[in-house]
Amino acid sequence: MKFPRVKNILFSQNPPADFDSSPYAEIIKNYNIRIDFYKFFQMHGIPYEEFSKNKISFLDYNAIIMTNKNAIDHFFRIVEEMKIKMPVLSTKYFCSNAVTANYLQKYTKCKKRKVFFPQDGDPEKLVTEILRHADDKFLLPSAIDTSLNLLTKLLDKQKINYDKAEVFKISFADVSKAIDIYAYDMVVFFSPYGIQTLMNSYPEFKQGKMIIGALGSRVIAAAQDAGLNVQIKAPTEKHPSIFSAIDHYLFHANGRKRYNK
């Protein structure tokens, strides 16, 4: 694998509030690299009045599939607006990964044995676990557009009976009007919707020598489906975080200190 030198990186999300103590600051310090941030899309909750027209009752379901933090936030927002409580003892939660499962604790104190997730975030393993509970009634809180959701494709392929509850929507930015994507040596993505935004903004996009980084199996799959060559991937056994994977690349490309956290 070749490691072209990197002078600047674009992260397709907002900057962290505590930038100076973040891994981003470490990258700048260790490799003398310019870092920019630009949020490629925004999440918006579906108003309860609009959601209620679907006549979906959360209490009709005993198995909830959670794909990300946004789904959790907006699901429980509507739970509160419905003035109901999800049964702690009987409700099961099937989460896309450990991060999502841990975030779930912000809203519910359900028993750990009622929360299922693949340690490596592999959606196929999650679907395998769901198949073991095929008699349950499944609900998938999601965005209006789930065309890039690898999990829904797997659920449909296995003919799992589930209903979707559209609890948030996504608005895509026109990146081409805000920044010059080709000015960056490396672009890092954190969501399949970031990939969709890129392709919407640049219909004739050519990757060329640009280094693409992706966090999560769904993001990697979306990038590859779009014809992108993903050189930096996480999590993996060797690189559990995207910063470790980026550091590995930059160490070989730029030959400076390593990020050790």
Tens-digit pLDDT profile for residues 101-153:
999 999 998 877 899 999 878 889 999 999 999 999 999 999 876 555 678 88
Give pTM, 2 decimals.
0.77
Residues 183, 185, 191: CA angle, nearest 5 degrees: 95
Domain around 177:
1-40+173-219
Specify the CATH number for the domain of residue 215: 3.40.50
The answer for 109, left when phi > 0, alpha when psi is -120 to 50, beta otherwise, is alpha
146 and 121: one domain? yes
Count up the domains in the chain and report the number: 2
| Amino acid letter, residue 19 | F
Specify the CATH number for the domain of residue 68: 3.40.50.10090
* Unique residue bearing structure tokens 């429980």: 76
> Percentage of the chain with pLDDT > 70?
95
**What are the start-end ranges of the E strands in the chain?**
8-11, 34-37, 41-45, 63-66, 92-95, 115-116, 138-143, 162-172, 186-189, 211-215, 230-234
> If we measure between CA atoms, which residue out of 6, 44, 58, 55 comes closest to residue 27?
6
Q: Which of 144, 170, 196 is the last residue of a domain?
A: 170
Tens-digit pLDDT profile for residues 166-200:
999 989 999 999 999 999 999 999 988 999 999 99
Q: Is the pLDDT of residue 260 over 50?
A: no
- Helix, strand, coil shares of the chain, percent, nearest 5, are 40, 20, 40
pLDDT band at 259 (very low <50, low <70, confident <90, very high): very low
183 and 114: one domain? no
64 and 118: one domain? yes
8 Å CB contact between 252 and 3: yes
